[in-house]
Amino acid sequence: METAGLTNIPPMDETLAYHLAPKANMASNKPTLPSKQCHFSASQLEKIYRAQGLSARALNTASMLQAYQAEKLQDLHQALSKGENPVAILDEVRRTAGFILRLSSTAAIALGKGMAETVVAQRHLWLTLTELPEGQRSEFLNQSVEPFGLFGHALGKIQTRCDLRKKQEEALHFSLPRRRYSQPKYSSDRGRSRSLSLSGRIAPKKPEESATRPSGLSERRDQPQAQPKQSAWTKQRFVPRQAAAPRPSAVDRRNKQSSACLSRD
Protein backbone atom coordinates (compact mmCIF):
# COMPACT_ATOMS: atom_id res chain seq x y z
CA MET A 1 0.00 0.00 0.00
CA GLU A 2 2.86 2.39 0.75
CA THR A 3 4.39 1.79 -2.66
CA ALA A 4 1.02 2.59 -4.25
CA GLY A 5 0.77 5.86 -2.25
CA LEU A 6 -2.40 4.92 -0.33
CA THR A 7 -1.07 5.58 3.21
CA ASN A 8 0.81 8.89 3.22
CA ILE A 9 1.04 11.88 0.93
CA PRO A 10 4.06 11.83 -1.42
CA PRO A 11 7.07 13.49 0.26
CA MET A 12 8.47 16.84 -0.76
CA ASP A 13 11.91 17.00 -2.33
CA GLU A 14 14.45 18.47 0.10
CA THR A 15 16.40 20.42 -2.51
CA LEU A 16 13.26 22.09 -3.88
CA ALA A 17 12.03 22.88 -0.34
CA TYR A 18 15.36 24.52 0.50
CA HIS A 19 15.19 26.51 -2.74
CA LEU A 20 11.66 27.77 -2.01
CA ALA A 21 12.04 28.40 1.77
CA PRO A 22 15.75 28.49 2.65
CA LYS A 23 15.36 29.99 6.14
CA ALA A 24 12.84 27.39 7.34
CA ASN A 25 14.76 24.43 5.88
CA MET A 26 18.27 25.50 6.82
CA ALA A 27 18.49 23.55 10.11
CA SER A 28 15.62 21.05 9.71
CA ASN A 29 15.99 17.40 8.77
CA LYS A 30 12.77 17.26 6.74
CA PRO A 31 11.05 19.81 4.47
CA THR A 32 9.07 22.37 6.49
CA LEU A 33 6.90 25.33 5.62
CA PRO A 34 7.79 28.84 6.85
CA SER A 35 4.66 29.97 8.77
CA LYS A 36 2.17 28.47 11.25
CA GLN A 37 -0.73 29.00 8.86
CA CYS A 38 1.05 26.99 6.18
CA HIS A 39 1.81 24.27 8.76
CA PHE A 40 -1.86 24.01 9.72
CA SER A 41 -3.04 23.94 6.12
CA ALA A 42 -0.49 21.25 5.25
CA SER A 43 -1.52 19.11 8.24
CA GLN A 44 -5.21 19.36 7.26
CA LEU A 45 -4.47 18.39 3.69
CA GLU A 46 -2.40 15.45 4.90
CA LYS A 47 -5.31 14.26 7.08
CA ILE A 48 -7.67 14.53 4.13
CA TYR A 49 -5.27 12.50 1.98
CA ARG A 50 -4.98 9.77 4.61
CA ALA A 51 -8.77 9.56 4.98
CA GLN A 52 -9.20 9.25 1.24
CA GLY A 53 -6.45 6.62 1.10
CA LEU A 54 -8.17 4.63 3.85
CA SER A 55 -11.48 4.73 2.02
CA ALA A 56 -9.75 3.66 -1.21
CA ARG A 57 -8.13 0.67 0.52
CA ALA A 58 -11.42 -0.34 2.14
CA LEU A 59 -13.37 -0.15 -1.09
CA ASN A 60 -10.66 -2.10 -2.92
CA THR A 61 -10.79 -4.89 -0.36
CA ALA A 62 -14.59 -4.87 -0.38
CA SER A 63 -14.64 -5.26 -4.15
CA MET A 64 -12.35 -8.32 -3.93
CA LEU A 65 -14.53 -9.83 -1.19
CA GLN A 66 -17.61 -9.30 -3.31
CA ALA A 67 -15.95 -11.22 -6.13
CA TYR A 68 -15.13 -14.05 -3.69
CA GLN A 69 -18.71 -13.98 -2.38
CA ALA A 70 -20.02 -14.32 -5.94
CA GLU A 71 -17.91 -17.47 -6.44
CA LYS A 72 -19.23 -18.98 -3.18
CA LEU A 73 -22.79 -18.29 -4.21
CA GLN A 74 -22.16 -20.13 -7.45
CA ASP A 75 -20.75 -23.09 -5.47
CA LEU A 76 -23.86 -23.00 -3.28
CA HIS A 77 -26.10 -23.20 -6.32
CA GLN A 78 -24.22 -26.22 -7.63
CA ALA A 79 -24.36 -27.95 -4.22
CA LEU A 80 -28.12 -27.42 -3.97
CA SER A 81 -28.66 -28.73 -7.50
CA LYS A 82 -26.70 -31.92 -6.65
CA GLY A 83 -28.45 -32.36 -3.30
CA GLU A 84 -25.29 -31.88 -1.17
CA ASN A 85 -25.15 -30.29 2.30
CA PRO A 86 -24.57 -26.51 1.79
CA VAL A 87 -23.85 -25.57 5.45
CA ALA A 88 -20.08 -24.94 4.99
CA ILE A 89 -20.66 -22.86 1.90
CA LEU A 90 -23.39 -20.82 3.65
CA ASP A 91 -21.03 -20.06 6.57
CA GLU A 92 -18.36 -18.82 4.15
CA VAL A 93 -20.88 -16.60 2.37
CA ARG A 94 -22.07 -15.21 5.69
CA ARG A 95 -18.52 -14.39 6.84
CA THR A 96 -17.74 -12.72 3.53
CA ALA A 97 -20.85 -10.57 3.80
CA GLY A 98 -19.78 -9.46 7.30
CA PHE A 99 -16.34 -8.41 6.08
CA ILE A 100 -17.87 -6.46 3.22
CA LEU A 101 -20.17 -4.60 5.59
CA ARG A 102 -17.26 -3.69 7.88
CA LEU A 103 -15.17 -2.43 4.99
CA SER A 104 -18.07 -0.41 3.63
CA SER A 105 -18.59 1.26 7.00
CA THR A 106 -14.85 1.96 7.27
CA ALA A 107 -14.84 3.57 3.85
CA ALA A 108 -17.88 5.68 4.74
CA ILE A 109 -16.24 6.86 8.00
CA ALA A 110 -13.00 7.71 6.19
CA LEU A 111 -14.85 9.71 3.58
CA GLY A 112 -16.74 11.56 6.32
CA LYS A 113 -13.48 12.41 8.09
CA GLY A 114 -12.03 13.69 4.85
CA MET A 115 -15.06 15.92 4.31
CA ALA A 116 -14.85 17.22 7.90
CA GLU A 117 -11.13 18.02 7.53
CA THR A 118 -11.93 19.87 4.32
CA VAL A 119 -14.47 22.01 6.22
CA VAL A 120 -11.88 22.72 8.94
CA ALA A 121 -9.33 23.80 6.32
CA GLN A 122 -11.92 26.12 4.76
CA ARG A 123 -12.70 27.60 8.19
CA HIS A 124 -9.01 28.18 8.81
CA LEU A 125 -8.67 30.13 5.58
CA TRP A 126 -11.49 32.50 6.60
CA LEU A 127 -10.35 32.85 10.22
CA THR A 128 -6.88 33.99 9.13
CA LEU A 129 -8.56 37.15 7.80
CA THR A 130 -9.73 38.06 11.31
CA GLU A 131 -7.62 39.49 14.13
CA LEU A 132 -8.66 36.91 16.72
CA PRO A 133 -5.95 35.18 18.80
CA GLU A 134 -4.92 31.64 18.02
CA GLY A 135 -6.75 30.14 21.03
CA GLN A 136 -10.12 31.48 19.90
CA ARG A 137 -9.48 30.33 16.34
CA SER A 138 -8.88 26.75 17.48
CA GLU A 139 -12.14 26.90 19.44
CA PHE A 140 -14.10 27.78 16.31
CA LEU A 141 -12.24 25.21 14.22
CA ASN A 142 -13.39 22.37 16.48
CA GLN A 143 -17.09 23.19 16.16
CA SER A 144 -19.42 20.57 14.75
CA VAL A 145 -20.04 20.58 11.00
CA GLU A 146 -23.48 21.79 10.00
CA PRO A 147 -24.93 21.66 6.47
CA PHE A 148 -26.54 25.13 6.64
CA GLY A 149 -23.32 27.12 7.25
CA LEU A 150 -19.56 26.90 7.30
CA PHE A 151 -19.29 27.81 11.00
CA GLY A 152 -22.65 26.40 12.03
CA HIS A 153 -24.06 27.64 15.33
CA ALA A 154 -20.78 29.43 16.19
CA LEU A 155 -21.47 32.20 13.66
CA GLY A 156 -23.00 34.52 16.29
CA LYS A 157 -20.03 34.05 18.65
CA ILE A 158 -17.58 34.87 15.88
CA GLN A 159 -19.41 38.07 14.99
CA THR A 160 -19.61 39.27 18.61
CA ARG A 161 -15.93 38.54 19.30
CA CYS A 162 -14.83 40.23 16.09
CA ASP A 163 -16.88 43.35 16.96
CA LEU A 164 -15.48 43.36 20.51
CA ARG A 165 -11.93 43.04 19.20
CA LYS A 166 -12.49 45.90 16.78
CA LYS A 167 -13.90 48.16 19.53
CA GLN A 168 -10.93 47.41 21.80
CA GLU A 169 -8.48 48.32 19.06
CA GLU A 170 -10.30 51.57 18.32
CA ALA A 171 -10.36 52.51 22.01
CA LEU A 172 -6.66 51.77 22.31
CA HIS A 173 -5.95 53.80 19.19
CA PHE A 174 -7.79 56.86 20.51
CA SER A 175 -6.30 56.58 24.01
CA LEU A 176 -2.69 56.64 22.84
CA PRO A 177 -1.19 60.16 22.61
CA ARG A 178 -0.29 61.42 19.20
CA ARG A 179 2.73 63.50 18.34
CA ARG A 180 2.55 65.94 15.50
CA TYR A 181 5.63 66.67 13.50
CA SER A 182 4.42 69.89 11.84
CA GLN A 183 7.08 72.58 11.32
CA PRO A 184 6.45 76.07 12.78
CA LYS A 185 5.27 78.63 10.26
CA TYR A 186 7.08 81.97 10.34
CA SER A 187 5.53 85.25 9.23
CA SER A 188 6.90 87.09 6.22
CA ASP A 189 8.65 89.87 8.21
CA ARG A 190 10.07 87.51 10.78
CA GLY A 191 11.28 85.11 8.11
CA ARG A 192 12.89 87.93 6.12
CA SER A 193 14.73 89.31 9.15
CA ARG A 194 15.86 85.79 10.11
CA SER A 195 17.21 85.16 6.62
CA LEU A 196 19.08 88.48 6.60
CA SER A 197 20.61 87.87 10.00
CA LEU A 198 21.74 84.41 9.00
CA SER A 199 23.13 85.41 5.59
CA GLY A 200 24.65 88.83 6.20
CA ARG A 201 25.43 88.75 9.92
CA ILE A 202 25.07 92.55 10.14
CA ALA A 203 26.93 93.95 13.15
CA PRO A 204 25.12 96.52 15.27
CA LYS A 205 26.15 100.14 14.92
CA LYS A 206 28.35 101.66 17.62
CA PRO A 207 27.31 104.98 19.17
CA GLU A 208 29.19 108.02 17.79
CA GLU A 209 31.82 109.48 20.09
CA SER A 210 31.45 113.14 21.09
CA ALA A 211 33.70 115.64 19.30
CA THR A 212 34.86 117.26 22.51
CA ARG A 213 36.93 115.40 25.03
CA PRO A 214 37.26 116.31 28.67
CA SER A 215 40.44 118.26 29.64
CA GLY A 216 43.27 116.47 31.42
CA LEU A 217 42.85 113.25 29.51
CA SER A 218 45.38 112.33 26.87
CA GLU A 219 44.47 110.41 23.81
CA ARG A 220 45.28 106.79 23.80
CA ARG A 221 47.89 105.80 21.33
CA ASP A 222 47.30 102.91 19.07
CA GLN A 223 48.83 99.89 20.63
CA PRO A 224 50.58 97.44 18.32
CA GLN A 225 48.67 94.29 17.76
CA ALA A 226 50.15 91.24 19.34
CA GLN A 227 51.36 88.72 16.84
CA PRO A 228 50.01 85.23 17.21
CA LYS A 229 52.30 82.72 18.75
CA GLN A 230 53.85 80.29 16.36
CA SER A 231 53.97 76.70 17.38
CA ALA A 232 56.84 74.37 16.69
CA TRP A 233 54.88 72.82 13.84
CA THR A 234 54.24 76.04 11.88
CA LYS A 235 56.21 76.69 8.70
CA GLN A 236 59.03 79.28 8.95
CA ARG A 237 60.89 81.08 6.23
CA PHE A 238 64.13 79.42 5.28
CA VAL A 239 67.22 81.73 5.61
CA PRO A 240 70.56 80.30 4.43
CA ARG A 241 73.24 80.30 7.05
CA GLN A 242 76.40 82.40 6.23
CA ALA A 243 79.68 80.56 6.19
CA ALA A 244 82.12 81.55 8.97
CA ALA A 245 85.44 83.35 8.04
CA PRO A 246 88.53 81.10 8.06
CA ARG A 247 90.74 81.36 11.16
CA PRO A 248 94.26 82.88 10.46
CA SER A 249 97.21 80.60 10.97
CA ALA A 250 100.28 81.33 13.21
CA VAL A 251 102.49 82.42 10.23
CA ASP A 252 99.89 84.97 9.12
CA ARG A 253 99.69 86.42 12.63
CA ARG A 254 103.48 86.83 12.81
CA ASN A 255 103.64 88.56 9.45
CA LYS A 256 100.85 90.87 10.53
CA GLN A 257 102.68 91.80 13.76
CA SER A 258 105.97 92.48 11.91
CA SER A 259 104.26 94.73 9.39
CA ALA A 260 102.62 96.67 12.21
CA CYS A 261 106.00 97.24 13.91
CA LEU A 262 107.63 98.50 10.71
CA SER A 263 104.79 100.90 10.14
CA ARG A 264 105.30 102.40 13.58
CA ASP A 265 109.02 102.97 13.00
> Alpha-carbon Rg of the chain, whole angstroms?
55
How far is Cα 152 from Cα 246, in angstroms, rounded to an integer? 124
Q: What is the pLDDT along the chain (265 residues), one digit of tens a residue?
A: 667 777 788 888 888 888 888 888 887 788 888 888 888 888 888 889 889 889 988 998 999 999 999 999 999 889 888 888 888 888 999 999 999 999 999 999 998 888 888 888 888 888 888 878 888 888 888 888 888 888 888 888 888 888 887 787 777 777 766 665 555 555 555 555 555 555 555 445 555 544 445 454 444 454 555 555 555 555 555 555 555 556 667 767 777 777 776 666 5
How far is Cα 40 from Cα 192, in angstroms, rounded to an integer? 66
Helices (H), the chain: 14-20, 36-82, 87-127, 134-141, 155-175, 188-199, 250-264
* Residue 3 CB neighbour total at 10 angstroms: 6
